[in-house]
A and B are shown apart, each in its own frame.
Chain A
Amino acid sequence: MPDGNQLIACHECDLLQREVALPEGGVARCARCGGILFRSHPQGLERALAFTLAALVLFIISNTFPIVGLEVNGDLIQATLLGTVHMLYRDGMWIVAGLVMFTTVLAPLAHILGMLYILAPLRFGRRPPNSAALIRVLTEVKYWGMVEVFVLGVLVSLVKLADLAKIVPGIALWSFAGLMILFTAATVAFDQRQVWQKLGEVA
């Protein structure tokens, strides 16, 4: 709990302010620029852990099963995410392949595993080793996961392909939509301020 005496600087305008106690689910905003200083998440880390575990399951499903298929004259061509990356790579488009791989597979996976690594031991009152360095990596990785943009990309491609052939939606199409929601929920619930507080308590 904040003691009401601690100073906090706005990360957008650097104004120095005193931390205040918040009602449940409340948001503290900067008095000068309106930037978010911090939020109160009741049971935030418990929830973050639950969302992260669910997101991991959906991530695995999303990367195992096909997203969509095209049916032409009885033949079915299906695309998985990794298959798509491989196809780009084979075409010599390795930069584009790398970009897709990084933003839709590697960055989200690193983010999910990183949050699990911190949250799971904390849940049982243990301090995971090297957590400080890992949290630093997580704040960088956060920018590069683009699952939600990819989901919109899938929808646009479906419309483009609808003229060409019969479209068969795959399991991963649905799991990607679910992943997008759970991943966002986990990211929001993973409150850094609370994580640091908890890490300080178990140290």
Chain B
Amino acid sequence: MSAVTAASRGLSACHGCGLLTQTGHHHATHCPRCGAGVHARKPDSIARTWAFLIAAMIMYIPANVLPIMITESLFGAQADTIMSGVAYLWHHGSWHLALIVFIASVAVPMLKIMALIVLVVSVQFRSAWDPLQRTKLYRVVELVGKWSMLDIYVVALMVALVQLKALATISAGPGAVAFGAVVVLTMFAAMSFDPRLIWDATENNDG
């Protein structure tokens, strides 16, 4: 199969505004309409995606092991990790919210990292396996990424509100910094990946 892509006709779509411009292979110019740099594919997509992914995986460990919230009360100090926060909601609040926080803070970052690894590796091996499904996977990764910030906002609001000298005070723990880093790094990783590379592998006439 050999589909007519913009790249095969020496055209590149601007990342900024979508305008098609004539560009040679490996030849960067600037978009005549919006002035953004025009490349046939995002530059160094695979290397950049890997760099952000590896950094995200490293930060994923402290994000889950270190406390993200520290509660000091008359009964002493209590440090909460993301998982213990989910467990607390499960027992005291409602299981609905426990599920939402679990999905947003634990499942989404992990699945996002795994999905991006699958995408990058499949592109590196020039896999022809179901490009449509892989494109859909990428769309989901892009869509859900920001929802992982949920726990950061929860911690922030708890810190602002629970400043009751007589009862309890809450402060943010070092895990919150690591967790925020995971969210930002996975977002950068997703932005660096170019889904058009998935389809390039299905072309026979690539150069």
Chain A residues with a Cβ under 8 A of chain B: 7-9, 11-16, 32-35, 67-70, 72-73, 75, 77, 79, 83-85, 87-88, 91, 93, 95-96, 99-100, 103-104, 132-133, 135-136, 139, 143, 146, 149-150, 152-157, 159-165, 192-193, 196
Q: Number of B residues contacting the other chain (C-beta, 8 Å)?
A: 70
B11 touches A164 (CB 8 A): no
Instruction: State the 7 A-B residue pairs at the shortest beta-carbon distance, nearest first.
Output: A153-B153, A9-B6, A84-B160, A79-B160, A9-B13, A157-B157, A14-B5
Complex interface bits, B1-40 against A, C-beta within 8 A gives 1, otherwise 0: 0011111110111011111100000000000011110000
Q: A9-B6, A77-B164, A160-B154 are in contact. Are A135 and B16 (CB under 8 A)?
A: yes
A149 and B6 CA atoms in complex are apart in Å by: 36
What DSSP secondary structure best describes chain B's contact surface? helix
Tell me how many residue pairs across A and B have CB atoms closer than 8 Å: 200
B146 touches A132 (CB 8 A): no
B35 touches A133 (CB 8 A): yes
A100 touches B162 (CB 8 A): no
B162 touches A164 (CB 8 A): yes
A13 touches B177 (CB 8 A): no
Chain B residues positioned under 8 Å from A15 (CB to CB): 3-6, 199
Q: A84-B159, A159-B94 are in contact. Are A193 and B149 (CB under 8 A)?
A: no
